[in-house]
């Protein structure tokens, strides 16, 4: 259980940087299929935002030899909260360092999760201001709904693979004030945790890396908010040769409507079609899923989350997605974790 006094220090997930060996393909995916607006280019990076993302960008696509997550940044709820969270980390083995920020964001505190994921905290942001032709009549919408693809509204959440889920979870709780809303245990081993600092069922999740690798990225989710949109998105992905891994269906965990695909660079992207469970209770107690009930936790409908990718493939990967599937299609699940 975390310290209530720090429960609101982190406001929300602000942005994720994705590495891609296929930058043209990745950009086409996000702009033509998911209707994201390009707001900036610099070096090998392109900055993108959904039409309801409030800042200059939520996704940064950076050319790199292998797919993966460059970093993910959380926005604090105040300048003071940023100082406090940085101080808390600085006093810990995780340490970290200040940097100057990036396009549209100010001073940033960078650190690594116990598993090695690059994470950041930031307070200063530049709010996106639409030019007249992109202004929406809906005042809470920073820009018009675009006319390309099936446009996502905003970034939703981040899912990390870890060799040690509990260590990542405890960092999020202790230093950043996250609450663990749901977790999955296999015997005594915690193999999944869904964490949040606000009403959302989760903004950061962590799942056990069944290959035992460290610091890999599972997926980032973009938000539609309309269940039907995942059905429509699946049809678009099918027509335009984007590989669908699983869905559309609804997780029991978080009650989120999911659709998982691989963008052309090899990263897994989730389309999140509704808000899922919103958690209002201030004295909510973590729900724990046992393996015996996991079937409902994974999918309420008949969807099958495939062992050969969903539970084994993360980025960076030593193999291409095709190689990975070929290798794991026949391998089958490993023996259960021992304790």
Report in angstroms how near the CB of residue 15 gets to its own copies at its nearest.
12
Q: Within 132-191, which residues bind its own copies (CB under 8 A)?
A: 136-141, 144-145, 147-149, 181-182
Nearer to its own copies by C-beta: 94 or 305? 305
Query: How many whole angstroms separate alpha carbon 108 and alpha carbon 115?
Result: 20
Q: Any idea what the Cα angle at residue 278 is, between residues 78 and 140, rounded to 5°? A: 60
Beta carbons of 191 and 263 less than 8 angstroms apart: no
Beta carbons of 21 and 65 less than 8 angstroms apart: yes
Report in angstroms how near the CB of residue 269 gets to its own copies at its nearest.
13
Residue 306: its H or E element: none
List of residues 6+ apart from 178 with CB closer than 8 A:
2, 10, 172, 195, 196, 197, 204
Does residue 277 bind its own copies (CB under 8 A)?
Answer: yes
Stretch that binds its own copies, among 40-48, 101-109, 264-272, 285-293 (CB under 8 A): 285-293
Report in angstroms how near the CB of residue 112 gets to its own copies at its nearest.
25
Stretch that binds its own copies, among 65-73, 91-99, 276-284, 313-321 (CB under 8 A): 276-284
Report in angstroms how near the CB of residue 214 gets to its own copies at its nearest.
28
Selected from 27, 46, 160, 259, the binder of its own copies by CB under 8 A is 259
Burial (CB count <10 Å: 0-12, 13-18, 19+), residue 191: buried
Token digits for 272? Answer: 């999140």
Query: How many whole angstroms separate alpha carbon 114 and alpha carbon 89?
Result: 12
Query: How many whole angstroms separate alpha carbon 129 and alpha carbon 178?
Result: 30
Selected from 126, 293, 322, 327, the binder of its own copies by CB under 8 A is 293
Report in angstroms how near the CB of residue 141 gets to its own copies at its nearest.
7
Q: Within 217-236, which residues bind its own copies (CB under 8 A)?
A: 225-229, 231-232, 234-236
Nearer to its own copies by C-beta: 56 or 163? 56
Nearer to its own copies by C-beta: 12 or 49? 12
Nearer to its own copies by C-beta: 44 or 286? 286
Using alpha carbons, select from 90, 45, 100, 51 the residue that is nearest to residue 70.
45
The count of chain residues that interact with its own copies, using the rule CB under 8 A, is 77
Does residue 257 bind its own copies (CB under 8 A)?
Answer: yes
Report in angstroms how near the CB of residue 206 gets to its own copies at its nearest.
18
Nearer to its own copies by C-beta: 45 or 157? 157
Query: How many whole angstroms separate alpha carbon 59 and alpha carbon 72?
Result: 9
Does residue 292 bind its own copies (CB under 8 A)?
Answer: no
**What are residue 36's phi and psi, to 5 degrees?**
-85, 150
Q: Within 69-128, which residues bind its own copies (CB under 8 A)?
A: 75-78, 127
Q: Within 31-50, which residues bind its own copies (CB under 8 A)?
A: 32-33
Report in angstroms how near the CB of residue 175 gets to its own copies at its nearest.
18
Does residue 325 bind its own copies (CB under 8 A)?
Answer: no
Nearer to its own copies by C-beta: 88 or 279? 279
List of residues 6+ apart from 55 with CB closer than 8 A:
14, 15, 49, 104, 105, 125, 126, 127, 128
Q: Within 1-30, which residues bind its own copies (CB under 8 A)?
A: 4, 7-8, 11-12
- The CA-atom distances, in angstroms, between 185 and each of 141, 217, 309, 337 are 40, 20, 20, 10
Selected from 201, 265, 266, 314, the binder of its own copies by CB under 8 A is 201
Report in angstroms how near the CB of residue 99 gets to its own copies at its nearest.
21
For 70, other C-beta atoms within 10 Å of its C-beta total 16
Selected from 45, 108, 254, 267, the binder of its own copies by CB under 8 A is 254
Token digits for 238? Answer: 């099918």
């Amino acid at each position: 259980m975390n310290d209530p006094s720090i429960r609101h220090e982190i406001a929300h997930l602000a942005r994720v940087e994705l590495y891609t060996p296929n930058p043209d393909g990745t950009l086409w995916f996000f702009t033509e299929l998911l209707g994201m607006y390009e707001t900036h280019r610099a070096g090998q990076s392109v900055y993108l935002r959904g039409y309801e993302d409030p800042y200059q960008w939520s996704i940064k696509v950076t050319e790199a030899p292998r797919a993966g997550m460059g970093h993910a940044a959380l926005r604090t709820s105040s300048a003071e909260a940023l100082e406090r969270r940085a101080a808390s980390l600085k006093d810990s083995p995780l340490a970290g360092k200040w940097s100057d920020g990036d396009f549209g964001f100010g001073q940033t505190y960078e650190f690594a999760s116990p598993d090695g994921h690059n994470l950041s905290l930031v307070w200063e942001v530049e709010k996106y201001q639409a030019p007249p032709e992109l202004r929406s009549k809906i005042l809470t919408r920073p820009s018009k709904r675009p006319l390309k693809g099936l446009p996502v509204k905003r970034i939703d959440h981040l899912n990390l693979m870890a060799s040690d889920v509990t260590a990542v979870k405890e960092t999020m709780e202790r230093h950043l004030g996250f609450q663990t809303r749901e977790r999955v245990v296999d015997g005594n081993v915690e193999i999944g945790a869904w964490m949040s600092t606000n009403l959302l069922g989760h903004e950061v999740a962590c799942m056990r890396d069944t290959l035992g690798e460290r610091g890999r990225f599972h997926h980032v989710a973009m938000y539609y908010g309309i269940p039907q949109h995942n059905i429509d998105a699946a049809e678009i992905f099918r027509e335009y040769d984007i590989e669908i891994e699983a869905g559309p269906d609804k997780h029991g965990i978080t009650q989120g409507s999911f659709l998982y695909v691989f963008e052309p660079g090899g990263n897994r992207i989730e389309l999140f079609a509704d808000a899922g469970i919103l958690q209002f209770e201030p004295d909510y107690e973590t729900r724990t899923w046992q393996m015996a009930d996991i079937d409902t936790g994974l999918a309420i409908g008949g969807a099958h989350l495939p062992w050969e990718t969903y539970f084994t493939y993360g980025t960076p990967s030593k193999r291409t997605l095709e190689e990975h599937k070929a290798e794991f299609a026949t391998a089958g699940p490993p023996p259960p974790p021992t304790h």
